[in-house]
Amino acid sequence: MMVVMPLTRSEATARAAIIDVHSYEVHLDVTAAGETFGSRAVVRFGARPGSSTFLEFEPVVVSSMTLNGSPVPSLSVSGGRLTLADLAEENELVVEATMRYSNDGEGLHRYTDPADGNVYLYQHLFINNGGRVLPCFDQPDLKASWQVSVSAPADWKVATNGELVSSSAGEWRFAATKPISTYLASLFAGPFHAVTDSHDGIPLALYVRAALAEHLDRQAEELFTITKQCLDRYHEMFEIRYPFGHYQQAFAPEFNFGAMEYPGLVVFRDEMIYRSAVTDSQRESRANVIAHEMAHMWFGDLVTMAWWDDLWLNESFAEYLGTRVAGEATRFTGTWTTFAMQRKAWGLRADQHPSTHPVAPVEVRDTEQALLNFDGISYAKGAATLKQLVAFVGDEAFLAGLNEHFTAHAYGNATLADLLGALAKASGRDLSGWAEVWLRRAQVNTLRLELSPARVEQTAPADYPTLRPHKIGIGLYDRGADGTVVRRSLLPVEVEAAAVTAVPALDAEPAADLVVLNDGDLTYAKIRLDDASTAAVSTVLPLISDSLARAVLWAATLDAVVDGERPVAELVTLVLTALPVESEVVIVEDVLRATRSLVDRYSTPETRPAALELVAQAADRLLAVSEPGGSRQLAAARGLIGATNQSGRLRGWLDGEGVPDGLAIDADLRWLILYRLVVLDAAGTAEIDEEFARDRSATGAQWAARCRAAVPTPDAKAAAWQAIVSDVSLSNRLVEMTASGFWHPEQLDLLAPYVPRYFAEMPAMMRVRGGMSAERTAGYAYPELAVGAETRRLAAELLSREDLDPILRRVVQDADDDMRRAVEARF
Catalogue the active-site residues: 293
Cα–Cα dist 563/566, whole Å: 8
Q: How far is the CB of 185 from Zn ion (least distance, A)?
A: 16
Q: How far is the CB of 401 from Zn ion (least distance, A)?
A: 20
Q: Give backbone dihedrals phi and psi of 166, rounded to 5 degrees, phi first.
A: -155, 155
Task: CB nearer to Zn ion: give 315 or 530.
Answer: 315
Give one word for 749, left, alpha or beta, with left for phi > 0 and alpha for psi -120 to 50: alpha
Compute the C-alpha angle 304/305/307, nearest 5°: 135
**Interhelix angle for 685-694 vs 698-710, to 10°?**
180
Task: CB nearer to Zn ion: give 59 or 382.
Answer: 382
> 274: closest CA among 264, 263, 285?
285
Residue ranges in 31-70 that form contacts with Zn ion under rule CB under 5 A: none
Q: Give backbone dihedrals phi and psi of 197, rounded to 5 degrees, phi first.
A: -165, -175
Cα–Cα dist 4/473, whole Å: 50
Q: How far is the CB of 261 from Zn ion (least distance, A)?
A: 6
3-state secondary structure of 74: helix
Task: CB nearer to Zn ion: give 323 or 791.
Answer: 323
Give one word for 590, left, alpha or beta, with left for phi > 0 and alpha for psi -120 to 50: alpha
3-state secondary structure of 638: helix
Instruction: With contacts defined by CB under 5 A, name the span among 318-326, 331-339, 734-742, 800-808 that binds Zn ion.
Output: 318-326
Residue ranges in 381-440 that form contacts with Zn ion under rule CB under 5 A: none
Q: What strands, in cross-sheet order, belong to the sheet with 470-479?
A: 485-495, 470-479, 514-517
Q: How far is the CB of 35 from Zn ion (least distance, A)?
A: 31
**Interhelix angle for 714-726 vs 732-740, to 10°?**
140
Contact 216, 260 (CB under 8 A): no
Residues of the chain by 3-state class (helix, strand, coil), percent to 5: 50, 20, 30
Residue ranges in 662-701 that form contacts with Zn ion under rule CB under 5 A: none
Residue ranges in 181-240 that form contacts with Zn ion under rule CB under 5 A: none
Q: How far is the CB of 318 from Zn ion (least distance, A)?
A: 4
Site size for Zn ion, by CB under 5 A? 2
Contact 447, 470 (CB under 8 A): yes
3-state secondary structure of 494: strand
Task: CB nearer to Zn ion: give 290 or 598.
Answer: 290
Beta-strand ranges (E) seen in 102-216 are 107-112, 119-124, 145-151, 157-160, 164-168, 171-174, 187-190, 193-199, 202-208
Strands 265-269 and 259-260: antiparallel
Task: CB nearer to Zn ion: give 315 or 351.
Answer: 315
Cα–Cα dist 133/433, whole Å: 44
Residue ranges in 773-792 that form contacts with Zn ion under rule CB under 5 A: none
Q: What strands, in cross-sheet order, belong to the sheet with 455-459?
A: 500-502, 455-459, 446-450, 526-528
Residue ranges in 751-770 that form contacts with Zn ion under rule CB under 5 A: none
Residue ranges in 484-543 that form contacts with Zn ion under rule CB under 5 A: none
Strand partners, 23: 44, 145
Task: CB nearer to Zn ion: give 174 or 406.
Answer: 406
Under rule CB under 5 A, residue 318 binds Zn ion: yes
Q: How far is the CB of 314 from Zn ion (least distance, A)?
A: 6
Cα–Cα dist 710/717, whole Å: 7
Under rule CB under 5 A, residue 709 binds Zn ion: no
Task: CB nearer to Zn ion: give 126 or 438.
Answer: 126
Task: CB nearer to Zn ion: give 192 or 317.
Answer: 317
Task: CB nearer to Zn ion: give 301 or 315.
Answer: 315
Residue, CB closest to Zn ion: 318
Task: CB nearer to Zn ion: give 128 or 323.
Answer: 323
Site string for Zn ion, 278-317 (x = CB under 5 A): -------------------------------------x--
Task: CB nearer to Zn ion: give 257 or 274.
Answer: 257
> 619: closest CA among 643, 601, 587, 654?
643
Task: CB nearer to Zn ion: give 139 or 316.
Answer: 316
Q: How far is the CB of 291 from Zn ion (least distance, A)?
A: 11
Task: CB nearer to Zn ion: give 101 or 268.
Answer: 268
Number of residues that make up the chain: 827
Q: How far is the CB of 521 from Zn ion (least distance, A)?
A: 21
Q: How far is the CB of 305 from Zn ion (least distance, A)?
A: 12
Q: How far is the CB of 340 from Zn ion (least distance, A)?
A: 20
Q: How far is the CB of 428 from Zn ion (least distance, A)?
A: 30
Establish whether the linkage from the previous residue to 453 is cis, with ω within 30° of 0. yes
Q: Give Cα 337 distance to the centre of its chain.
A: 18
Cα–Cα dist 712/717, whole Å: 7
Cα–Cα dist 477/537, whole Å: 11
DSSP 352-411: HSTT---SS-S---BHHHHHHT-STIIIIIHHHHHHHHHHHH-HHHHHHHHHHHHHHHTT
Per-position b or e across 600-617, b if 16+ CB within 10 A of its CB: bbbbeeebbeebbbbbbb
Contact 141, 123 (CB under 8 A): no
Q: How far is the CB of 300 from Zn ion (least distance, A)?
A: 7
Q: How far is the CB of 301 from Zn ion (least distance, A)?
A: 11
Q: Give Cα 79 distance to the centre of its chain.
A: 30
Q: What sections of 741-826 are H helices per DSSP?
A: 748-751, 754-768, 771-780, 789-799, 806-826
Site string for Zn ion, 449-468 (x = CB under 5 A): --------------------
User: What residue ranges bind Zn ion (CB under 5 A)?
Assistant: 315, 318
